Structure formats: structure tokens, C-alpha cells
Copies of this chain bind each other. A is one copy, B any other.
């Protein structure tokens, strides 16, 4: 051990926002990456499909990377792995279900999955100067792990996403003994999930959902349609258990529902008795009170199965009065309206919809304040870095830490790209590395930036108006045009007068330049944009993007 060596912890995602979790641990020339997630675009990121972390720091230090370690199989923890692995050839460690889900995603991007190495709770491996170990935690997906990293300077614990479920559906409770043991041995830094840091008390056990489900299964007279996150294997297992108990067959709707359940069953994370699963085309063969349909669309996503059912535009199924829809998920912030619209549309069809938070058919996958404090008390870290949360949640998590006795100066509330540097005794903020959002749009990763987004924003507001004119460059006179084409600006058929007048305005600008050889187009184009912009705004109150195009002969 080099006396001067420091431990660096660099979050490239997960701070100050939900999604795209990624944390870099560096000791000397060894780098371990925990998680490689994605985020879904916010409403102002027009046309963007996915958002992934800027990985420049990793690409600049390719040769140092020893491994990627995954905590669980949610998209916000595995979804940008394809991008990392395209450029860096390193082993990826994770639980079997996590890797099963990763495999599917890598295949979509044609990235090899030969580097995937399964690990389980209790396992520990040596990666360069790190010893990396895995701890079972409870979360809204099976097979979730926390990670600890032992270094010559001390031990770091990263909880991943977790809650303390004392009565989990699969019987696999979070390994609180391991957290206690590590705490007894001494932990230098804890990185812990802050999602529910604003929520008082304890998060309820997934098992409480069973009771609520049974109630609805025992009273429903028609078909039951249940929607939740496809990745919530425990929830789906409970629904299937209820179905078996009440003599209902189970059909799956939606691609990700089929993918995840197939994978989870294959790997032994779900058990579906033979003869229970039926095809969507077989639904009609059974009485309505013998049917459970598991479907995607719990977030009101317009293209998902539930939304299509609600708008009566699903290819192979139609809902009817007498059916019961159970929405076993809360809207993620930003999705409230679309979820509300889906519920309204279902109710209009005369369908019974269960959706209230109070209905008990959904519980969070993240620990609340008491659980966060329990982990803090078990692990007793010298330093805390709250992760996985918006800034106010990180702050609140930090407050909880000071309440249980961690000095305020030992809590680091940071931003993505911040470098936290530790010795065996000290911790400090030590500058920044490149970090940020990379947009994925179609096949392009990172080629859409602020300029393109800004243009899309203008186009989305008031559309575009194109002016084309063919000029005789030598004499500066018009040979053809000006022609005007617009989209997204006004309804063209009702706007003849406006377009005619626009044409006249362009002509009068061109006249200013007439009878002289034109050496550059810029002033002419600027003149058109200005005169036309002024006129159109006065007439319509709108500012379309004006694109003058000049052809010359």
C-alpha cells in the first residue's frame, strides 16, 4: 500500500436526479464501477429516447477499469451498460436475475454478453486492490444486492436501492447481520438510497399487498386486469398466487411483461404452476371470473397495453363493464396526468378501477426514514454520501444522519461529477470531473445536443415557415418564387391572405438587393427573416422558425 494513495468516489449519476445511477470507485490505478443506468427523458428533452451518464471520465481511464458491479436489474441501474461495454471490455458482476435482464438489453443493442459473471449474496471477489462483496437487500425487484468494497484505506458500503422488508414474499430478508458485522469492523464511507428520505416511518412489507389483493380477488365478479412494473417479480408472483387460489388462469399482455416473467420463471425467481398461464387468444375460452390478465402500462404510457385497452385500441382484447382493473403502482412524478387519463378512460368504459394509494395494492420499494436511520446505525460509517435522489432528498437524508450522530461535516451532499477523496481518516471534496447527460435519440448516442433540442423546442411551439426563391446571382433578380411552405404554424388552407402578404414582403426585401451582383447571402436572408418575423408576429402572435433558402443560377 502506497502511503499517499487515496480512495476516490465519483458519482457520474444518481445525485440530484432520479435515474441513470452510476458510481465510480478508484483506488490507485484500479477502478470499480457500481451500476450503469439510464433515465427517461424529461418533458423538455424533445424527441429524446433515453438519457445516459456522460462517461468521458471512464473512457479516459479505460485501462484502469477492473469491473462493473450491478446492484439490481432496474433500468436506472443497468440501462446504459450497452454504451459502456461498446467501448470498454470488462467483466460485469451481478445476481442471476439482474444478468438475465441485462442479457436481453445487450442483445437489443448487439453488444456481446460474454463478460457477464453471476454472483450472489455472501460472495466476495478480489478485483485489483478492491475486495468486493455482495449483501442481500429487499427492493421492488428480486435478487437485489448491496455492495461493499474493502480497500487498504477502509471499507465502503453502497446500499443500492433497498428497503427493510421483515416479511418478504420470497422469504429472503435483507442481510442485516452483514451490515451489522461490517459496522462492527468499521466502515469508512456509506453510500445510501435517498429516494424516500422525505417519508416518515417504515415502508410497508410487500406481503401486505397479498392481503389487499386477496380482498379484490374474492369480490371481483368478472375478469381481473392487474398492472404493475414488469420488473416487480414479487408483486407479480403474489398476483399469480391469488389467481391460483381463486381459480383464475393468467394471461400476459405487453412485451416487457412477457420478457421479464419468462426470464424470472426460467431462473427460478417465479413459480407458475403448470396450466395456469394461457395465451391472450385463449382468454375467451374461460368464464370471466376465471381470468387474470397481467399487463404493462401502470404509468399511463400511451403505447403500453393498459392505455390501449382504455382507448379501445388494443389489437386482441377488449375490456367491458364487470371487469376490474387493479393499478398496483404509484405514478412516478411527472406521470400523474397520464395515469389519471388512463383511469378516467377506463371508468368511462364502466370498468371498476382500484387505484388509490389507500387501496393497499402498492407499496414502495425504497426504505423510509426509520429504515435509513437503521442502516446508518448498523453500519456506523465515518462518512455518508447520500445517493439516488433529488437534491432535497439527499439533504433530508443528510439531516437524518446528523440526527443519529454523524457530524454534519462528514456528510457529503454532492453533484454528479464531484470527486470525493478519502484517506483512512479524512474525507474532502476534491474537484470535479466531466459529468452530465448524454442524449440517446434513435441510433444516435450523444449526437443530439443543446442546439438541436433548442431548434426542436422552437419548432414544437410555432412550427416552421420556409421561403424559397431562385435568384439570378449576377443581376440579383428573381427567377422563380418566392415560394412559401409552412408546417405546424397555421392551418394552410385558411391562410391564403397571410401567405400572399408574406410573399409580397419577401419580394420587397429582395428588391432592396436588386440590380447588383450578390456576393453573400447572409444579409439577404437576415433581411427576410426580420421583415417576415415582424409581420407574422403582428398578425398571429406566433414566432415560427423562418428558413430562407436561396437557389441561384
* Contact bitstring A463-481, B, C-beta under 8 A = 1, else 0: 1101010100000000111
Contact between chains at A463 and B392 (CB < 8 Å): no
The interface-forming segment of A3-11, A401-409, A440-448, A499-507 is A440-448
- Most interface-central of A47, A344, A395, A452 (chain B CB within 10 A): A47
Residues of B within 8 A of A529 (CB): none
CB distance from A326 to the nearest CB of B (A): 15
User: Do the beta carbons of B333 and A337 come within 8 Å of each other?
Assistant: yes
**Chain B residues whose CB sits within 8 angstroms of the CB of A490 once the complex forms:** 444, 447-448, 452
Q: Verify if A334 is at the interface (C-beta below 8 Å from B).
A: yes
Instruction: Given the known inter-chain contacts A390-B344, A442-B542, A542-B442, please indicate yes or no for A462 contacting B549, CB distance below 8 A.
Output: no
Interface secondary structure of A, over-half rule: mixed
Q: What's the Cα separation between A390 and B334 when bound, in Å? A: 18
Q: How far is the CB of A536 from chain B (nearest CB, A)?
A: 9
A485: chain B residues at CB < 8 Å are 547, 549
Decide yes or no whether A150 CB sits under 8 A from chain B.
no
The distance from the CB of A88 to the nearest CB of chain B, in whole angstroms, is 23
Contacting residues, chain B, for A545 (C-beta < 8 A) = 487
Contact check, B344 vs A340: say whether CB atoms are below 8 A apart: no
Which chain A residues (303-321) contact chain B, with CB distance < 8 Å? none
- Bitwise, A314-341 to B at CB < 8 A (1) or not (0) is 0000000000000000000110110010
Q: Given A344-B391, A444-B542, check contact A470 B460 (CB 8 Å).
A: no
- A334 near B336 with CB under 8 A, answer yes
Considering the chains assembled together, what is the distance between the CA atoms of A66 and B392 in angstroms? Answer: 53
Contact A463 B356, beta carbon cutoff 8 Å: no
B353, B459, B488, B541: the one contacting A392 at CB < 8 Å is B353
Q: Does A456 contact B (CB under 8 A)?
A: yes
What residues of B have a CB within 8 angstroms of the CB of A443 in the complex? 539-542
A334 vs B489: C-alpha distance in the bound complex, in angstroms?
A: 26
A347 within 8 A of B: yes
Also in contact, A390 and B340, with CB within 8 A (given A479-B553, A480-B552, A549-B483): yes
Residues from chain B with a CB closer than 8 A to the CB of A481 are 551
Determine the distance from Cα of A364 to Cα of B481 in the docked complex, in whole angstroms.
59
- Contact of A348 with B by CB under 8 A: yes
Name A553's contact: one of B337, B470, B494 (CB within 8 Å): B470
Give Cα A348–Cα B551 distance, bound, in whole angstroms. Answer: 52
B-side contacts of A46, CB under 8 Å:
460-461, 488
Residues of B within 8 A of A444 (CB): 490, 540-542
Nearest chain B CB to A400 CB, angstrom units = 15
A455 on the B face (CB < 8 A): yes
Docked CA distance A452–B390 (Å): 37
Interface string of A519-546 (1 = CB under 8 A from B): 0000000000000000001011110010
- Determine the distance from Cα of A549 to Cα of B481 in the docked complex, in whole angstroms: 11
A46 to B356, CA, bound (A): 30
8 Å CB contact of A441 from B449, B458, B542: B542
A340–B392 CB distance below 8 A: yes
Q: How far is the CA of A353 from the CA of B390 in the complex (A)?
A: 14
Does A451 interact with chain B (Cβ within 8 Å)? yes
Whether A356 contacts B198 by the Cβ 8 Å rule is: yes
Nearest-neighbour CB distance to chain B for A116, whole angstroms, equals 26
Task: Verify if A186 is at the interface (C-beta below 8 Å from B).
Answer: no
Contacting residues, chain B, for A108 (C-beta < 8 A)? none
Q: Which residues in chain A, 343-389, are within 8 Å of chain B measured between CB atoms?
A: 343-344, 347-348, 353, 355-356
Q: Contact flags (1/0) for A427-451 with B, using CB distance below 8 Å?
A: 0000000000000011110011101
Residue numbers in B under 8 Å from A355 (CB-CB): 392
Determine whether A43 belongs to the interface, using a CB cutoff of 8 Å to chain B.
yes
When C-beta atoms are compared, the residue in chain B nearest to A336 turns out to be: B333
Choose one: B337, B343, B462; the contact of A47 (CB below 8 Å).
Answer: B462
Query: Which residue among A337, A460, A552 has the maximum number of chain B CB atoms within 10 Å of its CB?
Result: A460
A442 touches B541 (CB 8 A): yes
Give the complex CA separation of A334 and B485 in angstroms. 35
User: In angstroms, how far is the closest chain B Cβ from the Cβ of A530?
Assistant: 18
The answer to whether A483 and B551 touch across the interface, beta carbons within 8 angstroms, is yes
Closest chain B residue to A539 by CB distance?
A: B443
Q: Which residue of B lies closest to A466 (CB)?
A: B466
B549–A468 CB distance below 8 A? yes
What are 6 A-B interface contacts by the 8 Å CB criterion?
Answer: A42-B337, A43-B337, A442-B537, A443-B542, A470-B553, A480-B551
Can you list the 4 inter-chain pairs with the closest CB atoms, starting with the nearest? Answer: A442-B541, A460-B460, A443-B541, A459-B459
Binding site for B on A (CB under 8 A): 16, 42-43, 46-47, 198, 333-334, 336-337, 340, 343-344, 347-348, 353, 355-356, 390-392, 395, 441-444, 447-449, 451-453, 455-464, 466, 468, 470, 479-481, 483, 485, 487-491, 494-495, 537, 539-542, 545, 547, 549, 551-553
